Amino acid sequence: MIPLQDILPRRNPPVMTYLLILINIIIFFYEVSLTPSERVEFFRLWGFVPAKFFDPYFAVLTGEPAYQKYLSIFTHLFLHGSWFHLIGNMWTLWIFGDNVEDRLGPWRFLIFYLFCGIFASFFHAYIYQNSVIPVIGASGAISGVMGAYFMMYPLARIIVLVPVFFIPFLFEMPAFLYLIFWFFIQFYSGLFSLVLPHTVAGVAWFAHVGGFLVGALVYKVFCRRACRFYQDEYSICGAIIKFGKK
């Protein structure tokens, strides 16, 4: 299932969501300008490498200054390995980010986004502690945004595209159904990557899982006080209140 858009109004323009998308695109164009060997080195320096944090011997062997690995905690969230990787992440952020930012406000949304992305990467790194493969991409942070959306707007409608024998079918479904389906795909793909690493390798599945879970659990901490208990027809409590008034 490919999400195309959500049917959910917003009150304010998603300035931070636009800015994050723009920054990711600019950095990707810089990556494209590099030669293949330069790009590999760029990802090694600025990507998140689990072994740098969990294997002290590897950290020494790299010969990099200590600040380099700590900067990579943030920088890896803005790197992408291909056009497909970039477009997929930015499209998902475009769909789910605006409404979450609407509730959090732009600066709280930015902090929430970075927090989820960093937690997601360390969640992945804890499972693959000896991995020397750089983790890159915004998907961990975006998974956190999706987790927050799941808790805030479970009854919002998502338009999804389902290709059946090369014929595209469009469906409208509740957000919670799509997001639960998406989460279990990530979770079981992560399990398969542990058992059969060659079948679903190349994707940090557990970063997606960790990002989604932490986003769903801590989003209220980042909400503006006025919106912390805000309910509308797209939330479960809001729907119950609306139903009770009928």
Q: Under CATH, domain 2-245 is a member of which superfamily?
A: Rhomboid-like (1.20.1540.10)
pLDDT of residue 61: 75
Q: Are 224 and 104 in contact (CB under 8 A)?
A: yes
Mean pLDDT of 103-119: 96
Distance of CA 6 to the CA centre of its chain: 17
Q: Which two tokens stand for residue 128?
A: 């693959």
Domain positions in the chain are 2-245
Grade residue 243 by pLDDT with cuts at 50, 70 and 90. very low
Mean per-residue pLDDT, 128-147: 92
Query: Which is nearest to 105 in space by CA: 97, 115, 95?
Result: 97
Indicate if the pLDDT at residue 214 is higher than 90.
yes
DSSP output for 27-81: HHHHHHHS-HHHHHHHHHHHSB-HHHHH-HHHHHHH---HHHHHHHHHHGGG--S
pLDDT in tens, 5-30: 888 888 889 999 999 999 999 999 99
Does 125 score more than 80 pLDDT?
Answer: yes
pLDDT at 131: 86
Residue 141 has pLDDT above 90, yes or no: yes
Determine the Cα–Cα distance for residues 77 and 156; give it in Å rounded to an integer: 27
Percent of the chain whose predicted confidence (pLDDT) is above 90: 59
Q: In the chain, pLDDT over 70 holds for what percent of residues? A: 87
Rounded distance, CA 153 to CA 31, Å? 36
pLDDT at 153 > cutoff 60? yes
CB 124, CB 207: distance < 8 Å: yes
Lowest-confidence pick of 122-131, 134-143, 195-204: 195-204
Supply the pTM of this predicted model. 0.88
Q: Smallest Cα–Cα separation from 10: which of 102, 107, 108, 148?
A: 102
Give the whole-angstrom CA distance, residue 232 versus residue 94.
21
Q: What is the pLDDT of residues 39-80, one digit of tens each?
A: 999 998 899 999 888 877 776 777 677 788 889 999 999 999
